[in-house]
Chain A
Amino acid sequence: MFSYYLQLGLHSLKRNPVLTALMVIGIGLGIAASMTTLTVLHLMGSDPIPWKSDKLHYVQLDNWDVNQPYYDDGRPPDQVTYRDAVALMEAGKADKQSAMYKLAMPVQPENPEIKPFRALGRVAYTDFFGMFEPPFRFGSPWGASEDASHARVIVLGKEINEKLFGGQDSVGKSVRLDGNDYRVVGVLGDWNLRFRYYDVTNGAFADPDEFFIPFTTAIDLKQRASGNNSCFSPSGDGWDAYLDSDCVWIQMWVQLDSAHGLEEYKSFLDNYVNEQKKLGRFQRPLNNRLLDVNGWMKDQEVVSRDMEVQTGLAFAFLIVCLVNTVGLLLAKFTRKAGEIGLRRALGASRRQVFGQYMIESGVVGLSGGLLGLALTGLGLIAVRALYSEYQTVAHLDWAMTFLTIALAIVAALLAGIYPTWRACRVQPAAQLKV
């Protein structure tokens, strides 16, 4: 019976091409608008590291000006100072921990045919790799001993390894950055980060990191961060004064594997800050934060407000399209009152008539969904063209494709309920009279 009704549904679509086209286009447009925005919102807002996002915590300490909070609403600074980062690293109270900062360095290839170029990298401790789990193609991360010995070692990203060594295993080879040689210990494979969640302060959608070197080494070489640096008071003159200052420019992440560990780390931070208060630092009230990955994404509004507004409007638009479809289906089914009366008179039950017209609505939904899917594809192309930084989040995956079709069918069925119910109530006798 289902396939027969399906045939009837398709046949009926062909009989009123204009009305059908109006409905299909309506549903298609509504679905496309909401799915385009929803896809971007979903990929932007979804958990970047679901298997451990609740274990990774971002450390924030409030060392800011006693007279003026960092944020007007009283939230602590986004980053920490060098001295606090080093103190927390030396204490080593978390299961894993890494201070890090962003820097840009000139790369001087040995091969004279490759022109020197500037590369964006990250300075971190060995735990960075254990915490954020980038996949290694060759070699491995450097270890704690390299951190301790301030070794000149480097982990290359896939692209820079491609550029310098043609994608070959370069472990053990040497790379010259800003006049210093570093030994390659590892090369990353494809690291499909949708956004760089471990450093949203310097732009979650900014260009990815191309290399990694040890924190201790970079400090030795006086490599300044090329990311955000904020000071509430003058940092004094020279490198040592800068390291000693209350300027914040370092991101600090810790991994805490248990709830107990989290509580302990919180009290450790409180103790640390209270100790520092005795030294005259941290004059603001105790205001430490240990947000997990998703909490930090939310705090920093990685999902832009524009995207939320757009998604809201797109769904309002979908509702208008559905209301429109209800009206058109109503018109269509009412026109068929005679036919329905005939079927009822010939013995079809209300239930059967209901089934038939719901299937017809479903067919409209399916067609609208297919059109919507094509339009969603176009919509995402448009989003990528309009927002150059969203290349990684404006893509349709299988889940979204399925959801698009399903949403279209569900929407059309919902829109079809009332018109179908009306159709079922047709009195055969009234329709058969001439």
Chain B
Amino acid sequence: MEIRPILSALMRSKVSMILIGVQVALTLAIVCNALFIIGQRLDRMDRPSGVNEADTFTFSSSGFGEGFDARAVMKSDLEVMRQIPGVASVATTNSVPMSDGGWGEGISLKPDQKTSTASTAFYLVNDSAVQTFGLNLIAGRDFKPEEVMDVKFGDRPQPKVIILTKALSEKMFPDGGALGKQVYLTGNEPSTVIGIVEGMQQPWMSSDEVEYSTLAPVYMTYGNASRYLVRAEPGRRDEVMKAVEQKLAEVNPSRIIGKLKGLQDYRADAYASDRAMAIILGTVIFALLAITALGIVGMASFWVAQRTRQIGTRRALGATKFDILRYFHTENFIITSLGLVLGAILAYAFSLWMMQAYQSPKLPWYYVPIGFLCLWALGQLAVLGPALRASRVPPAIATRSV
């Protein structure tokens, strides 16, 4: 190999070499960390909410005036909606996953426990909610219609029976057997666990305990406002949305039907900033790789132009086209490798800074080696054009003067 002459040639244009090397180093450091962040965001966005999102939507209804009987309206609304063609199931709930608004509550094993065992989302729902949300009941049973309590807004709901998510039941009872056990929520009255669902996220996506949810059979109206959840037959959501909005306004005009919003849209909103971050970082990575590649092309072209005579001389002395090509590729490989070594250090330094400043997790080891391979490939590709041009320099050029 011709490492020696390459090195001595490089030593003559140290600055250019350093510039390319630094570019490669920074690119590696940024790309590794940015890719890692993108990966984390995609993982977050991938979490299942546990509920049917495609066919469900929710909305609020708020009546006005003193004479409005929210409780009666709620019951008749449920009946009216069940009659609408395309409606698969209807329920009342105080909140839905990913909506960022809801009731958080401490859940304890004993009454008057000083610090609660866990924090849970408290979903106040009726007996058709498990079915409407499309929850997967993995143990126990659903609520019965007679178990749904009427609670005035401002009063404490102290449900006799509750359904927990699997994650919460395991947190409360690590040894298993949560079914039939008693826990304490808002007061000193025990609530018996009658069912366990596979999963149902809290409304708050940034919560550390996002999988801890509790369902309680409670009809609760907020002043004159209530919230409904509707599941349409597969593929008929939009059509059902229109029909529901029209029908409810018709049967009771002394109220405001809030915006009907699909659970899919709650997901889009809840993860909008994660999606934006992934897109922005992806764009930065792309632009960075492009700039670095162009920088290599520019510098290599310059070197080829500068060394035209030298190349001609080498060709005249018997070097093949392939030898010239190999010369430039090897040169690029050496520069890139030096840059990558520096870049690896920078990448870990960046990662350390992110860990300290933002409590982000550590950069997994495999990102850097993968980055090495990608940037080696990028460098070799970028240098290909100029190197081919160099290999086409005719040997006769050596004999010509300027």
Contacts and interface: CB of A to CB of B under 8 A. Distances in A.
Given A106-B256, A313-B284, A320-B291, A116 B279 contact: no
A262 B41 CA distance: 43
Contacts of A25: 294
Contacts of B354: 309
B272 A320 contact: no
A434 B26 contact: no
Interface residues of B, number: 59
B291 A313 contact: no
Interface in B21-75: 22-23, 26-27, 29-30, 34, 37, 62-66
Contacts of A19: 298
A334 B295 contact: no
A339 B301 CA distance: 20
A321 B287 CA distance: 10
Nearest to B153: A224
A323 interface: yes
A68 interface: yes
Interface in B265-324: 272-273, 275-277, 279-281, 284, 287-288, 291-292, 294-295, 297-299, 301-302, 305-306
A393 interface: no
Contacts, number: 142
A91 to B, nearest CB: 28
B231 to A, nearest CB: 25
Interface string B350-379: 000010001000000000000000000000
B279 A386 contact: yes
Contacts of B224: 106, 178
B184 to A, nearest CB: 11
Interface residues of A, number: 56
A303 B66 CA distance: 43
Given A178-B65, A179-B65, A328-B295, A68 B276 contact: no
B273 A118 contact: no
Contact of A317 (B19, B154, B284): B284
Nearest to A228: B101
A234 interface: yes
B291 A321 contact: yes
A238 interface: yes
B222 interface: yes
Contacts of A235: 154, 156
Interface in A286-336: 304-306, 309-310, 313-314, 316-317, 319-321, 323-324, 326-328, 330-331, 334-335
Contact of A108 (B29, B64, B106, B298): B64
A323 B37 CA distance: 25
A268 interface: no
Given A68-B115, A118-B256, A324-B292, A317 B287 contact: yes
A317 B64 contact: no
Nearest to A326: B19
Contacts of A237: 154-156
Interface in A18-42: 19, 22, 25-26, 29-30, 33
A117 to B, nearest CB: 6
A207 B64 CA distance: 22
Interface string A222-245: 001000001010111111011000
B156 to A, nearest CB: 5
A232 B354 CA distance: 33
A25 B293 CA distance: 13
A324 B224 CA distance: 64
B16 interface: yes
A323 B273 contact: no
Contacts of B306: 334-335
A182 B355 CA distance: 53
A153 B186 CA distance: 37
Contacts of B297: 22
B114 interface: yes
B402 interface: yes
A108 B253 CA distance: 12
A224 B220 CA distance: 15
A310 B280 contact: yes
Contacts of A422: 15
A296 to B, nearest CB: 20
B292 A335 contact: no
Contacts of A328: 295, 298-299
Contacts of A5: none
Contact of B273 (A306, A316, A320, A324): A306
Interface in A154-178: 178
Contacts of A232: 106
Given A313-B284, A327-B298, A434 B402 contact: yes
B124 to A, nearest CB: 15
17 contacts: A179-B65, A234-B156, A235-B156, A237-B155, A305-B358, A309-B37, A316-B26, A323-B26, A324-B298, A327-B295, A328-B299, A334-B306, A335-B305, A335-B306, A383-B276, A388-B272, A434-B401
Given A238-B154, A327-B299, A383-B276, 14 more contacts: A22-B298, A30-B291, A65-B115, A106-B255, A117-B256, A224-B153, A317-B291, A320-B27, A327-B295, A331-B299, A331-B302, A335-B305, A387-B272, A388-B272
Interface of A: 19, 22, 25-26, 29-30, 33, 65, 67-68, 106, 108, 116-118, 178-179, 224, 230, 232, 234-239, 241-242, 304-306, 309-310, 313-314, 316-317, 319-321, 323-324, 326-328, 330-331, 334-335, 383, 386-388, 418, 422, 434
